[in-house]
């Protein structure tokens, strides 16, 4: 719906955060954004992000608000994993304060008086943990008055699925316990570092959510107070009548648990944690909480260990016997060589004695016989690479040289030639990769994996051949289809490019991950829309291009150094300047 940017306010000489509505939004989204502006402007609390003003940029409304210096709770859990119990409780207390204020706030909206605001999208991504220890709740984009008389558009599920309450998914009437359910999921993730509902398949996720199936915290090895685990379970109860009924009760229970584990103020605990643990150049090791091992699992592990130990002993004895046999063989060979040397020495001495005896005898005249050709004696050499002649057969044995393929198999510890080719491509050893590909048999070469590897090689070494290969390829593999879209984009065939990208989104993948494929599809889709704007520059194509690049930035918001993220910034700036110049 909207993206948030950091700006410099020259009048006040301060940094601010600006939430700008996406250009391709429908009327319903614009109305919801206006409601967010009005609701958030009426909230003034230390644990809620403050609004400082509103405005309009190129026909797009925006909210100017305070810039919180820190991390979202989502980023914090991503970096640290499970948070320490005092930190979890401290963050929870400050979020509960914000909820208590919002749930009990009385205000006027559209000339009507209301009591209480339901956030409806409470999740780690909407909780900012500041470096000074303050925690702020933000993004009231789908918030609504607690009163059921306030009109909202039904029929569509709005919010982040993993954090929505069962009643939201079932389109039932909502009350403040909806936020308490979502808050329980946030506590769950903070204390164990795992998603309560990690399922990516939407159908299965909805089934888990509507039946409230999640892994119990008792399944993890946690050093957390039993009271905290019980509170989280109560918050996440499917039956909302069994959840804490008010945020005041929720806050009281959190304070009670906190007082038993810590004496500092919550802000001080969070500030110390942020100062000592979260440094941009020295991010701490992620704290991973493992699943609890049951007694039956321990028994199985011990049995496996005993079997493994037995195998090691048997293997060790076998190796020992083999070593003894080899040693005996070496001794026998040594004795045989010594015996042979002795016989050779005796023969030499005997030969010399015979020569001496011959010289001392009288010379006899005998008939001359034809001289036999002299046989050249073999020379000994210390060169290990020289051919070795066997005494018995006279055959020559050359030492076996290790092939390049054998060396690569050893280097990468695999016999999978396609995996070796992939490693060589990743190491930019294109000549070696090309040699390996050319030696593949026809059957292997026709596999989708080999086709992807050939496409990658040609892309880096011969783009003309890459284009020919891609256009003639009939594979329905995702990476090949994305490459086809790229070629079509280069040829300004935008419709075909979009068709290939759409097909790639549902096609099998051989090498790239689902995340990599999704990011590439978003990126090239944005390039297509930028190209269409360049071809037909008007308000409609401009908005669609902006929307596409905002999608890229939103997907890569945790990795702003990514090339796609940087390109998104460049394109947003370029097409906006071009549109302003055209519009005059």
Nearest to 191 by CA among 241, 139, 165, 227: 227
Topology of the domain comprising 476-583: 1.25.40
Spell 283-307 as b/e; 16+ CB within 10 A means b: eeeeeebeeeeeeeeeeeeeeeeee
Helix residue ranges per DSSP H, 361-440: 404-412, 417-426, 430-438
In this predicted structure, what is the pLDDT of residue 401? 66
In this predicted structure, what is the pLDDT of residue 321? 58
In this predicted structure, what is the pLDDT of residue 375? 46
What is the full per-residue pLDDT of the chain (584 aa) written as tens digits? 677 777 777 777 777 888 887 777 777 778 778 887 888 888 889 999 888 888 888 788 888 888 888 889 998 998 888 899 999 999 999 999 999 999 998 888 878 888 889 998 899 999 999 989 999 998 887 778 876 544 444 444 555 778 888 888 877 888 899 999 999 999 999 999 888 888 777 777 778 877 788 888 888 878 889 899 999 999 999 888 899 999 999 999 999 999 999 889 999 999 999 987 655 444 445 555 555 555 555 555 566 666 666 666 666 665 555 666 566 555 556 555 655 555 555 555 455 444 444 434 444 444 444 444 444 444 444 443 444 444 444 445 555 567 888 888 888 888 899 999 999 999 999 999 999 999 999 999 989 899 999 999 999 999 899 999 999 999 889 999 999 999 999 999 999 999 999 999 888 888 988 888 889 999 999 999 999 999 999 988 998 999 899 889 888 887 889 999 999 999 999 998 898 888 76
d(CA 57, CA 75) in angstroms, rounded, equals 29
Paired with 19 in beta bridges are 4, 63
Q: To which CATH superfamily is domain 71-277 assigned? A: Transferase(Phosphotransferase) domain 1 (1.10.510.10)
CB 481 within 8 A of CB 503: yes
Instruction: Give 71-109 as a DSSP string.
Output: EEHHHHHHHHBSPPHHHHHHHHHHHHHHHHHHHH-EEEE
Nearest to 412 by CA among 397, 394, 399, 425: 425
d(CA 443, CA 56) in angstroms, rounded, equals 61
CB 76 within 8 A of CB 83: yes
In this predicted structure, what is the pLDDT of residue 342? 54
d(CA 96, CA 386) in angstroms, rounded, equals 83
Say whether 327 sits in a helix, a strand or coil: helix
C-alpha angle 54-58-63 in degrees, rounded to nearest 5: 20
In this predicted structure, what is the pLDDT of residue 151? 42
Return the biggest CA–CA distance within the chain. 147
Residues in contact with 292: Cβ distance below 8 Å, sequence separation at least 6, in sequence order:
218, 219, 220, 221
d(CA 537, CA 349) in angstroms, rounded, equals 105
Nearest to 89 by CA among 209, 263, 215: 263
d(CA 462, CA 484) in angstroms, rounded, equals 16
Tokens representing 196? Answer: 């309560």
Q: What are phi and psi of 246, to 5 degrees?
A: -140, 155
In this predicted structure, what is the pLDDT of residue 92? 96
| Domain regions of the chain by residue span | 71-277, 295-330, 403-454, 476-583
In this predicted structure, what is the pLDDT of residue 306? 63
In this predicted structure, what is the pLDDT of residue 533? 94
78 burial via Cβ count (<10 Å: 0-12, 13-18, 19+): middle
Nearest to 199 by CA among 189, 191, 190, 209: 209
CB 566 within 8 A of CB 523: no
């Amino acid at each position: 719906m909207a993206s948030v940017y950091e700006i410099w306010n020259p009048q006040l000489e301060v940094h601010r955060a600006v939430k700008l509505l996406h250009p391709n939004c429908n009327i319903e989204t614009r109305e919801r954004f206006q409601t967010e502006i009005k609701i958030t402007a009426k909230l003034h609390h230390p644990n809620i992000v403050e609004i400082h003003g509103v405005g309009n940029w190129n026909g797009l409304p925006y909210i100017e608000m305070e810039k919180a210096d820190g991390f979202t709770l989502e980023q914090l859990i991503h970096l640290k994993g499970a948070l320490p119990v005092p930190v979890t409780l401290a963050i929870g207390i400050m979020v509960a304060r914000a909820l208590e204020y919002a749930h009990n706030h009385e205000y006027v909206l559209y000339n009507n008086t209301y009591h209480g605001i339901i956030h409806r999208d409470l999740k780690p991504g909407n909780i900012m943990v500041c470096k000074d220890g303050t925690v702020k709740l933000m993004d009231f984009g789908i918030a609504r008055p607690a009163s059921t008389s306030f009109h909202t558009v039904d029929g569509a599920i709005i919010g982040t699925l993993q954090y929505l309450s069962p009643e939201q998914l079932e389109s039932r009437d909502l009350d403040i316990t909806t936020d308490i359910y979502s808050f329980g999921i946030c506590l769950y993730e903070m204390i164990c570092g795992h998603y309560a509902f990690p399922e990516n398949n939407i159908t299965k996720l909805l089934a888990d959510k509507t039946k409230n199936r999640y892994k119990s915290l008792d399944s993890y090895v946690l050093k957390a107070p039993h009271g905290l685990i019980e509170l989280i379970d109560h918050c996440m109860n499917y039956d909302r009548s069994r959840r804490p009924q008010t945020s005041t009760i929720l806050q009281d229970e959190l304070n009670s648990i906190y007082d038993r584990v810590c004496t500092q103020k919550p802000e001080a605990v969070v500030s110390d944690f942020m100062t000592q643990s979260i440094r941009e150049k020295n991010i701490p090791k992620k704290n991973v909480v493992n699943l609890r091992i049951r007694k039956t699992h321990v028994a199985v592990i011990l049995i496996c260990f005993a079997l493994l130990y037995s195998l090691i002993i048997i293997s060790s004895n076998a190796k020992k016997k083999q070593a003894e046999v080899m040693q005996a063989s070496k001794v026998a060979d040594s004795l045989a060589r010594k015996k042979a040397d002795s016989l050779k020495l005796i023969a030499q001495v005997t030969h010399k004695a015979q020569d001496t005896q011959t010289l001392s005898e009288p010379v006899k005249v005998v008939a001359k016989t034809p001289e036999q050709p002299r046989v050249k004696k073999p020379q000994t050499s210390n060169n290990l690479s020289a051919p070795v002649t066997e005494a018995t057969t006279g055959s020559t044995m050359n030492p076996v040289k290790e092939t390049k393929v054998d060396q690569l198999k050893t280097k990468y510890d695999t016999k999978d030639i396609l995996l070796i080719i992939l490693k060589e491509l990743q190491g930019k050893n294109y000549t070696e990769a090309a040699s390996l590909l050319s030696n593949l048999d026809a059957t292997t070469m026709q596999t989708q994996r080999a086709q992807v590897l050939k496409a990658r090689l040609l892309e880096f070494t011969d783009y003309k051949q890459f284009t020919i290969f891609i256009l003639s390829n009939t594979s329905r593999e995702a990476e090949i289809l994305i490459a086809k879209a790229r070629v079509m984009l280069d040829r300004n065939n935008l419709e075909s490019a979009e068709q290939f990208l759409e097909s790639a989104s549902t096609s099998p993948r051989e090498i790239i991950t689902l995340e990599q494929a999704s990011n590439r599809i978003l990126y090239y889709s944005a390039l297509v829309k930028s190209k269409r704007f360049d071809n037909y520059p008007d308000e409609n194509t401009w908005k669609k291009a902006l929307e596409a690049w905002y999608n890229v930035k939103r997907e890569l918001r945790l990795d702003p150094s990514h090339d796609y993220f940087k390109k998104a910034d460049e394109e947003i700036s370029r097409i906006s300047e071009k549109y302003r110049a055209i519009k005059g």
